Amino acid sequence: MLVVGELINGMYSNIGAAIRERNKEAVQKCALEQIACGAEALDVNCGPASRQPLLDMPWLVETIQEVTDKTLCLDSSKPAVIEEGLKVSRNKTIINSTTADADKLDILVPLANKYKSRLIGITINAKGIPQNKDQRLELAVSIVSACQEKGFPVENLYLDPIVLPVNVAQPQMRDILESISEFKIISEPGAKTIIGLSNVSQGTIFRSLVNRTFLTMAVAYGLDSAILDPKDKELIDTLITAELILNKNIYCDSYLEAYRKK
Amino acid sequence: MLVVGELINGMYSNIGAAIRERNKEAVQKCALEQIACGAEALDVNCGPASRQPLLDMPWLVETIQEVTDKTLCLDSSKPAVIEEGLKVSRNKTIINSTTADADKLDILVPLANKYKSRLIGITINAKGIPQNKDQRLELAVSIVSACQEKGFPVENLYLDPIVLPVNVAQPQMRDILESISEFKIISEPGAKTIIGLSNVSQGTIFRSLVNRTFLTMAVAYGLDSAILDPKDKELIDTLITAELILNKNIYCDSYLEAYRKK
C-alpha cells in the first residue's frame, strides 16, 4: 500500500502560513514527520487561499526535495500549477489529478507522459459526482481508454472512485468499495486504485474511527494507495494489520514495529 | 449483525470456578455485563475441564435464563451435552455446533428440528481443517445439503468457515474472508454466516487490534454473526462503525451511543 501523506496542504493554517512566509523549515518538518510515520509519498497542495499558486507549487516542491527523495503527489485542479511543480521536481511524481473530462485528459495525460509521472484519475466529470457504481465504472473506463489512446501506461494510473462523507452519502459507501475491485479489472495490465481517505469522515464526530474502519474495508477490496494523515497512529496500526491479515507482510510478534522500520 | 458474547465459558477461571461452586451470581453477572455491552446472544460452554457437563450445561442454562431471555448458544462438541441444555431452555437457542461429518449431522440436524433451534455448521470434518477456499465450500455444501434433506430451514443455519490464527495460517486469511460471501450463495434462501472471532488473534501480541481489523473485513464480506468478547469496547465501536459504513444503521453524530441504546 502506497501511503501518501496529506498534511502539506495550504488549507492547514500552519502550512498556509509557511507558504506565505516562505518558511522552508515548517514545510520540511511536516514532510519529515509524515515520512517518519510511514508515508512513502507526500501530497503537495498550495491550498485554496494561495494567490500565486504558479509560484507556490514550485517553491513547495523545491523546499521538500531538499530533505527527501520520496515521491511527490502534485495536487491542484489547475494543470498549469501542476506543470510548474513537474518542471522543478527531481523526485518521482504523481499528478493529482485529472477528471474524466476530455479537456482535462487531453492536457494531463500528455503532461504525465512528458514528465514520466504517474497520474491520478478521479471518476468525476463536468456533470458532477457519480451517484452509483455503474456511473463510476463508466467514468473509469473513459479515463483508462484515454490513457491507452495517448500511450500512457495504465499500470501508472491510479483510479480514484471519489470517497464521499458517510454522513451525507451513506448509501453509496458500498458502491465506492466495490468500485475499487471493479476498477482493477477494466484493463490488463490493470490500473491501480487510490482514495482520498479523510473525506469519508468529513463532518463526523469520530473521525479517526470512521477513517480506519473504512480504510480496512478498502484494503479488503484491493486498494493500492491512500492519501491520508500518517500521523494518526491508530490509522497506520490498523493499515499495517489489515495488510498483515491479507498476507502482504509476514507475521512476527513485533510486526507493527517491523513494518515501520522497513 | 448478531453479536454472541463468548465469556460464559468454563475455560475462563472465573466461570470455571462459578460452575464448580454452583455460584449463580457470577454467571448471571457475566451474562448481564455482556448484554449491557451489546451482546444479543450468549455462548454457553462448560469448558474443557468440566467433569459433569451433562449436569453443568443445564445448570448454566437455567442460571442464565433467570436473568435474561436472550438467545443461548449451546456450545459443546458432545451432542448429548447440547441436548441437556436444549431440554431446559425456555430462551431461543443456537446449537454450537455440528461439523460436516455425516454422523454429526445425523444427530444434530434432527436435534435442531426437534427443539426448533438454530444451528451452527463448522466447515471441518474428521479429515481435519480445510486448507483452502474450495475445501471450505465443499464442506459447506455438504452441510447445507444435509439440512435440506432433513427438512431443516437453511435460513436458520449459520455456516462457520473456521477462523485460524493469523500467526500460523496467514495465507488462509483471504480464503476465510471470501468463504463468507461464497457460503451465502450456496442455496436460496441462503444460509447465514458466523465466525468465532477471537481465534484469529490467538497467540498474537496485539489481540484487540487484530480482532477488530479482521472483523471489519468480515463485515465487508457480508458476515451475519460473530462470537466475540463484547466487553472489548474498541471492538464493538469498530463493529458499529463498519455496519454504519455499509448503511445498516442510519448515521447520526451520536451513532455509537444510539446503537448501544437500541
Question: Is A244 in CB contact (< 8 Å) with chain B?
Answer: yes
Helices (H), ranges, A171-222: 173-183, 207-220
Q: Has residue B262 got a pLDDT over 80?
A: no
B132/chain A closest Cα distance in angstroms: 14
Confidence of residue B126 (pLDDT cuts 50, 70, 90): very high
Note the pTM of the prediction, 2 decimals: 0.96
As a whole number of angstroms, the distance between CA B257 and CA A9 comes to 34
B217: nearest CB among A171, A209, A216: A216
A205: nearest CB among B219, B242, B253: B253
Cell 481435519, located at residue? B128
Per residue in A232-241, pLDDT (tens digit) is 999 999 999 9
pLDDT of residue A236: 97
Residues 181-240 of B with CB under 8 A from A: 200, 204-206, 209-210, 213-214, 216-217, 219-221, 237-238
Structural domain harbouring A98: 2-232
pLDDT of residue B261: 79
pLDDT of residue A260: 83
As a whole number of angstroms, the distance between CA A20 and CA B235 comes to 44
As a whole number of angstroms, the distance between CA A163 and CA A205 comes to 18
As a whole number of angstroms, the distance between CA B133 and CA B116 comes to 31
Confidence of residue A35 (pLDDT cuts 50, 70, 90): very high
pLDDT of residue A250: 87
pLDDT of residue A96: 98
- Contact by Cβ (8 Å): B136, B161: yes
B257 domain-assigned: no
Domains identified in chain B, total number: 1
- Quick one: average pLDDT of B48-56? 95
User: Element (H or E) spanning B194, and its range?
Assistant: strand B192-196
Q: Has residue A262 got a pLDDT over 80?
A: no
- Contact by Cβ (8 Å): A153, A186: no
B94 SS3 class:
strand
A58 domain-assigned: yes
Which residues 6+ apart lie within 8 Å of A103 measured at CB? none
B250 domain-assigned: no
A238 domain-assigned: no
Residue of B nearest to A219 (CA): B217
pLDDT of residue B249: 87
Per residue in B200-228, pLDDT (tens digit) is 999 999 999 999 999 999 999 999 999 99
Residue A248 vs residues A241, A255, B194, B229: alpha-carbon distances, Å? 10, 12, 25, 27
Per residue in A130-158, pLDDT (tens digit) is 999 999 999 999 999 999 999 999 999 99
- Quick one: average pLDDT of A154-171? 96
Within A53-200, strands assigned E span 71-75, 93-98, 118-122, 157-160, 192-196
Confidence of residue A224 (pLDDT cuts 50, 70, 90): very high
As a whole number of angstroms, the distance between CA A170 and CA A200 comes to 10
Residue A110 is given by DSSP the state: H
Cβ-Cβ contacts under 8 Å, A213 against chain B: 216, 238, 241-242, 245
Name the average pLDDT for chain B. Answer: 97
Q: Which residue(s) pair with B41 in the sheet?
A: B4, B71
Q: Has residue A184 got a pLDDT over 80?
A: yes
Within A6-155, strands assigned E span 41-44, 71-75, 93-98, 118-122
Q: Which residue(s) pair with B75 in the sheet?
A: B96
- Quick one: average pLDDT of B13-36? 97
Residue of A1, A223, A235, A244 to mutate for B, most B C-beta atoms under 10 A: A244
- Contact by Cβ (8 Å): A177, A218: yes
- Quick one: average pLDDT of B60-76? 98
Per residue in B104-125, pLDDT (tens digit) is 999 999 999 999 999 999 999 9
- Quick one: average pLDDT of A72-90? 98
Q: Has residue A53 got a pLDDT over 90?
A: yes
B28 domain-assigned: yes
Which value does ipTM take for this structure? 0.94
pLDDT of residue B258: 87
% of chain A residues with pLDDT over 90: 97
B243 domain-assigned: no
Q: Is the torsion defined by CA of A95, A97, A100, A105 positive or negative?
A: negative
> CA triplet B10, B12, B18: central angle to 5 degrees?
60
Residues 171-190 of A with CB under 8 A from B: 171, 173-174, 177
A262 domain-assigned: no
Q: Which residue(s) pair with B195 in the sheet?
A: B226
- Quick one: average pLDDT of A62-75? 98
CATH code of the domain containing B60: 3.20.20.20
Name the average pLDDT for chain A. Answer: 96
A259 domain-assigned: no
Q: Has residue B138 got a pLDDT over 80?
A: yes
Confidence of residue A113 (pLDDT cuts 50, 70, 90): very high
